[in-house]
Structure 1
């Protein structure tokens, strides 16, 4: 951690959803690393949803953890409280800085504010969002770039897109790569793999894994179409398991309806957190053919589970995968060809799995926390 006087920082964790998701993984990992650094690094206050108070009290034992009003569990009320109650709380705890970890921030507060902007795809990939969501996050991003003392982003690609598209000031943007929780995401044991296979009803059948939100940007319909082409005609075709939240991509149902009857698509929804290493690490391939990411945490987590990964070279994904993953295009024909090639090449899959595990070790929440703390010090100074 950066040396110097301990800054008094208030982190607003009220945007963390109940299912954790990407923002939950980010806030949990960051606070865990700050907690491990101890009170000598900073004097930390966390405001969270009431259901998360006990959790964060364990994660950051030296921090003061405060529950937000019960109404803040609902998004409109939380956004209203962010503008009125959060600045008052910052004043009450004597915060020298407020960190808002998910795009939005209060417009008037008596201390510097830093904001995490996770990606620029609301501008680069607008067709993959519904109109109201796109408008909200575009407005929030522009406001935060204008109002925040510093903006933290998870990749150079996101930084460069904000500069290119919104004329953001590069001297006020800090790149803090996400880390990976090595306890939660690790090469699974045979028992962990077998437990997941049993729960999914896979038996001895191999499978291709997808884990993530079912939103248009994730390109799940084309993954389904590409997988179907890649495995049709094989004697023992691997299943496709599409796990994660339900999302709002209606085209997924249409793609599934076109899958030949002899092929299996499983949609188990959310998996237990403890089952993720067995699910990812037990797959023949973890496929993530996204149209673009601000970082690509699912790719990093699959690499940490020693899964061979197939993804796209869009935006930040090459920063995460480097040469340790296989790349494909976004259309079904490209996905089919590249997935089939991987399924036919067990030695290559083994090389990718080993390389991915090694590369994933370079991304730590401790390093991310270092960048955050340095950014906060600059904002205060």
Structure 2
């Protein structure tokens, strides 16, 4: 079975779908998949390094522009399916050709475009709702990263439950693991917080991540402490306009850092070095930062929204999504080192059960099911 995986939707910063594709591809090859990758020209060398054994096909340079890529998906991608002799097409980011010529497997990462459209840019919410509806009707098989995502899509869009395959994301245990005191100190120095403890956050600063509520909760939990932890908001700037307003209200004696993207090699020490890693999201299809933080031995505070309890289980702490609830749970964790130690140990153990090898096996099952459905 030859699978053509369309990686042309991977952004230049490799966020989101990029992390998913980059981690999945090597494991698909190890699982014996005859893999062809359609990639942006800028990514030819990258996939040549991480996907040795795959056939690499570069899309036209113009597909770097989203409108051109969407047109190419409908015309050039089906032509590529025919030319490489693919048995299955895997579209890993919601959209698919209307006429691919072979069974198509589509990955749907979350359903929040339906449940909380106000937390997305309006144009994105409209576009991805349409894409999810189309994939739910036409795809031979659908891959989702959690049971919560599957259930939400079925509830909101309908479809055949048998076509859904739940493939939990994995974690690179070679990279994301507990780090030394020295490694953590080096990251603190790069963040310009010295020896100060900190509450960390990792993710795009978008409304869905609920960062403005986290800022206000951190102020409530820390403003009267003699040694208050800093707040470090790592990740892309995003489009949450409330964050600047929330930071403007932070008392002068409290420290906030927004370092932007951190180097990948710094993430384990950043996550594991946080006194608490807070991720008060309003809804996730999976929640990879939570899993990666768990693998690094972090004490994680998150919410029970959508998929997050599937990831965290009993190895993380939970709060509501409002300022007061986040502040209460954050205060409890900051005041209880023994509980933090217990959660950190359980988190490392639980994270061991999430692997990209297992995710790849589920994808292979989806490919095989798609072929059977076509027959």
Query: TM-score, structure 1 length as denominator?
Result: 0.96
Q: 2:81 aligns with which of 90, 93, 97?
A: 90
In the alignment, does 2:251 pair up with 1:260? yes
For 1:98 and 1:189, the matched residues in 2 are separated by 43
Distance in structure 2 (CA, Å) of the matches to 1:198 and 1:204 = 8
Task: Quote the residue 2:239 is aligned against.
Answer: 248
Question: 1:49, 1:192 → 2: CA distance?
Answer: 35
Q: Residues 175 and 268 of structure 2 are in contact (CA less than 8 Å); yes or no, is this contact kept in structure 1?
A: yes
- Aligned residue for 1:21, secondary structure, equals coil
Q: Which residue of 1 aligns with 2:291?
A: 300
Q: Distance in 1 between the 2:250 and 2:15 partners?
A: 28
Instruction: Tell me if structure 1 keeps the 8 A contact 2:185–2:195.
Output: no
Contact 1:178 1:295 survives alignment (8 Å): yes
Unaligned stretches of 5+ residues in structure 1: 1-6
Cα-to-partner distance string for 1:148-192 (whole Å, 9 max, x where unaligned)? 111110000000111111112101111111101112211112222
Q: CA contact under 8 A between 2:200 and 2:271: conserved in structure 1?
A: yes
Quick check: 1:242–1:268 contact (8 Å CA) kept in 2?
Answer: yes
**Structure-2 residue corresponding to 1:168:** 159
CA contact (8 A) 2:146 2:307 kept: yes
Question: Residues of 1 paired with 2:179 and 2:68: CA distance?
Answer: 41
- Asked if 2 retains the 8 angstrom alpha-carbon contact of 1:308 and 1:349, the reply is yes
1:181 and 2:175 are equivalent in the alignment: no
The one of 179, 190, 200 aligned to 1:209? 200
1:63 Cα deviation (Å)? 0.8
| Conserved 8 A contact 2:297-2:348 | yes
Among 199, 211, 221, the alignment partner of 2:190 is 199
Runs of 4 or more consecutive aligned structure 1 residues displaced over 2 Å after TM superposition: none
The residue correspondences of 1:104-253 to structure 2 (distance < 5 A) are: 104-253=95-244
What is the rounded CA distance, in whole Å, between the counterparts of 1:77 and 1:34 in structure 2? 28
CA RMSD after TM alignment: 0.9
* Counterparts of 1:320 and 1:130, CA distance in 2: 26
Which residue number in structure 2 is paired with residue 12 of structure 1?
Answer: 6
Equivalent position to 1:34, from 9, 28, 38:
28
Residues 48 and 67 of structure 1 are in contact (CA less than 8 Å); yes or no, is this contact kept in structure 2? Answer: yes
d(CA) in 2 for partners of 1:185, 1:20: 17
Corresponding residue for 2:329?
338
Alpha-carbon distance between aligned partners in 2 of 1:19 and 1:229, rounded to the nearest angstrom:
34
Aligned counterparts of 1:252 and 1:168: Cα–Cα separation in 2: 38
Aligned length: 372
**Pair 1:57 & 2:48 matched:** yes
Q: Distance in 2 between matches of 1:105 and 1:188?
A: 41
Q: Which runs of 5+ in 2 are unaligned?
A: none
2:300 corresponds to = 309
Structure-2-length-normalised TM-score? 0.98
Distance 2:26 2:175 in 1: 13
What is the distance in 1 between the residues matched to 2:57 and 2:184? Answer: 39
